[in-house]
């Protein structure tokens, strides 16, 4: 019997999770077992396994990618990658800004919304304690964190920017000093990367189960009732995210990369579904790399450089969401932001999206930086908590998709003949690139 493709297995897991999650409640007990605790157990185990792959995968792929490139090729690739990331994030933010201004989800009489949507005190205090005291100065901190004082600590604490910076430097100097000993080091990292690729394949076999646990847990704890008053904001953010993913990025793929957008989309589906379920682009990185290499046909060298960098610095969905959310809060509180203030929102969204970690709910902190900068009340964050998880899942999928588009477009511009191979029953069965 032919094996069902991984992305279909994941889709079925999501549907089952929504169905089962909506008929269970947080305090339900079935034959002495709490379904919520079981979902949590399965989901956490899967997330842990994905996170376990990140540090060795990021280090080995960046280092071996850089070592393979060397010299001018590296500068060219680096320049193109950063340019692409800056442009696509800016495009995403401008789409968000236009949609939120056109729809105006927070305009009108929102006194009731502002009052009624305050979450319970405990949640509010917890969120505020995370975001209080943030201001535009935090952007400087993003750059300071880029240079870690201790690379082992950066890896242990999941400070991806620091780890990436060190790996980039390490790879650069490895490429420069080609002696017998450094060639051995190069081969070592290549070997680590090959092993990590195999290990990722193995972990992904459990994706449907892990995704089921994560989604069922979210549906059980969040429910649907609280959603209603925030529906218009939800629709606005969703529409803007969809416009970016289904109109803007496909146009870029077609016009700049000369790549068939729907084929690439299909090729990336396992990674996007995983991003959707985990709400973490870092945790999805192993699978993003796998799909881009084996289903979209990008070389290991290009994807090993572009994708780990993108998972941390390129977050189109997050940048767009930050802008929509800050504008929405301003509208709810009846503040009309001037052009200058809106420009500031755009710039801070762009800069903070670089520093936002690829983990669930990370953008809430960045949004608080924007709120502080334009003088909006931090309590506004409370409004966002209601819809945050679901929008987080969607914006993370957009983040991952945009990274993959960058990889394909850049590979094409480097003269690679990317061959999109979709339709294979299982992405993990593709021959190595």
Q: Are 310 and 275 in contact (CB under 8 A)?
A: no
Which one, 138 or 392, has the nearer CB to ligand ASP? 392
Site for ligand ASP in 10-49 (CB under 6 A): none
Task: Quote the least distance from Cβ 322 to ligand ASP, whole Å.
Answer: 8
Task: Quote the least distance from Cβ 357 to ligand ASP, whole Å.
Answer: 7
- HSE, side-chain direction, 13 A CA sphere, residue 250: 13
Q: Which stretch binds ligand ASP (CB under 6 A): 7-15, 105-113, 179-187, 388-396?
A: 388-396
**Coil, helix or strand for 33?**
strand
Which one, 196 or 357, has the nearer CB to ligand ASP? 357
Does 193 contact ligand ASP by CB under 6 A?
Answer: no
Q: Which stretch binds ligand ASP (CB under 6 A): 63-71, 145-153, 360-368, 425-433?
A: 360-368
Torsion of CA 41, 124, 347, 358, to 10 degrees: -10
**Coil, helix or strand for 74?**
helix
Site for ligand ASP in 250-309 (CB under 6 A): 279-281
Among 358, 380, 382, 427, binds ligand ASP (CB under 6 A): 358
Does 363 contact ligand ASP by CB under 6 A?
Answer: yes
Q: What tokens does 149 get?
A: 């004082």
Does 138 contact ligand ASP by CB under 6 A?
Answer: no
SS in 3 state form for the chain? CCCCCHHHHHHHHHHHHHHHHHHCCCCCCECCECHHHHHHHHHHHHHHHHHHHHHHHHHHHHHHHHHHHCHHHHHHHHHHHHHHHHHHHHHHHHHHHHHHHHHCCCCCCCHHHHHHCCCCHHHHHHHHHHHCCCCCCHHHHHHHHHCCCCHHHHHHCCCHHHHHHHHHHHHHHHHHCCCHHHHHHHHHHHHHHHHHHHHHHHHHCCHHHHHHHHHHHHHHHHCCHHHHHHHHHHHHHHHHHHHHHHHHHHHHHHHCCCCCHHHHHHHHHHHHHHHHHHCCHHHHHHHHHHHHHHCCCCCHHHHHHHHHHHHHHCCHHHHHHHHHHHHHHHHHCCCCCCHHHHHHHHHHHHHHHHHCCCCCCCHHHHHHHHHHHCCCCHHHHHHHHHHHHHHHHHHHHHHHHHHHHHHHHHHHHCCCCCCCCCCCCCHHHCCCC
Task: Quote the least distance from Cβ 366 to ligand ASP, whole Å.
Answer: 8
Does 428 contact ligand ASP by CB under 6 A?
Answer: no
Q: Are 285 and 311 in contact (CB under 8 A)?
A: yes
Please state the φ and ψ torsions of residue 12, each to the nearest 5 degrees. -60, -40
Among 127, 302, 331, 399, binds ligand ASP (CB under 6 A): 399
Q: Which stretch binds ligand ASP (CB under 6 A): 140-148, 198-206, 356-364, 422-430?
A: 356-364
Does 359 contact ligand ASP by CB under 6 A?
Answer: yes
Which one, 63 or 164, has the nearer CB to ligand ASP? 164
Among 55, 94, 361, 421, binds ligand ASP (CB under 6 A): 361
Q: How many residues bind ligand ASP (CB under 6 A)?
A: 16
Q: Which stretch binds ligand ASP (CB under 6 A): 218-226, 258-266, 338-346, 395-403?
A: 395-403
Task: Quote the least distance from Cβ 369 to ligand ASP, whole Å.
Answer: 13
Among 7, 134, 300, 395, binds ligand ASP (CB under 6 A): 395
Q: Which stretch binds ligand ASP (CB under 6 A): 35-43, 81-89, 260-268, 394-402?
A: 394-402
Among 106, 171, 360, 380, binds ligand ASP (CB under 6 A): 360
Does 392 contact ligand ASP by CB under 6 A?
Answer: yes
Which one, 174 or 289, has the nearer CB to ligand ASP? 289
Residues 83-122, one symbol each (x = binds ligand ASP by CB under 6 A, - = not), give ----------------------------------------
Task: Quote the least distance from Cβ 363 to ligand ASP, whole Å.
Answer: 4
Which one, 99 or 160, has the nearer CB to ligand ASP? 160
Applying CB under 6 A, which residues contact ligand ASP? 279-281, 315, 318, 356, 358-363, 392, 395-396, 399
């Amino acid at each position: 019997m032919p094996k069902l493709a991984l992305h279909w297995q994941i889709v079925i897991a999501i549907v089952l999770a929504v169905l089962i999650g909506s008929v269970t409640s947080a305090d339900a007990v079935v034959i002495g077992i709490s379904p919520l605790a079981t979902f949590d157990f399965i989901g956490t185990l899967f997330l842990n396994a994905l996170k376990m792959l990140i540090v060795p995968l990021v280090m080995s792929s960046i280092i071996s990618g850089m070592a393979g490139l060397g010299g001018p090729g590296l500068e060219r690739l680096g320049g193109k990658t950063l340019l692409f990331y800056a442009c696509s994030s800016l495009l995403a933010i401008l789409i968000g800004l236009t949609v939120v201004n056109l729809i105006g989800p927070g305009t009108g009489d929102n006194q009731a919304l502002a009052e009624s949507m305050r979450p319970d005190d405990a949640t509010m205090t917890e969120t505020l304690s995370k975001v209080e005291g943030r201001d535009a100065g935090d952007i400087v901190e993003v750059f300071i964190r880029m240079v870690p004082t201790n690379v082992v600590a950066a890896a242990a604490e999941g400070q991806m920017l620091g780890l990436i910076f060190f790996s980039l430097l390490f790879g650069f100097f490895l490429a420069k000093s080609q002696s017998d000993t450094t060639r051995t080091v190069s081969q070592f990292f290549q070997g680590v990367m090959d092993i990590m690729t195999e290990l990722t394949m193995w972990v992904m076999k459990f994706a449907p189960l892990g995704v089921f646990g994560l989604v069922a847990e979210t549906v059980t704890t969040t429910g649907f009732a609280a959603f209603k008053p925030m529906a218009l904001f939800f629709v606005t953010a969703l529409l803007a995210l969809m416009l970016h993913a289904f109109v803007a990025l496909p146009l870029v793929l077609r016009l700049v990369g000369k790549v068939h957008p729907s084929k690439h989309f299909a090729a990336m589906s396992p990674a996007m579904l995983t991003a959707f379920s985990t709400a973490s682009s870092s945790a999805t990185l192993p699978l993003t790399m796998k799909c881009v290499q084996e289903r979209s046909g990008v070389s290991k060298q290009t994807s090993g450089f572009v994708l780990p960098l993108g998972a941390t610095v390129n977050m189109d969905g997050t940048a767009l969401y930050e802008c929509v959310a800050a504008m929405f809060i301003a509208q709810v509180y009846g503040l009309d932001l001037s052009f200058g203030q809106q420009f500031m929102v755009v710039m801070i969204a762009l800069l903070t999206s670089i520093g936002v970690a690829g983990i669930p709910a990370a953008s809430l902190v960045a949004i608080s930086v924007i709120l502080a900068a334009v003088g909006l009340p931090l309590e506004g964050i409370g409004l966002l908590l209601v819809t945050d998880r679901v929008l987080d899942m969607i914006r993370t999928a957009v983040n991952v998709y945009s990274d993959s588009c960058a990889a394909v477009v850049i590979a094409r511009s480097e003269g690679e003949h990317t061959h999109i191979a979709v339709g294979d029953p299982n992405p993990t069965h593709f021959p190595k690139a």
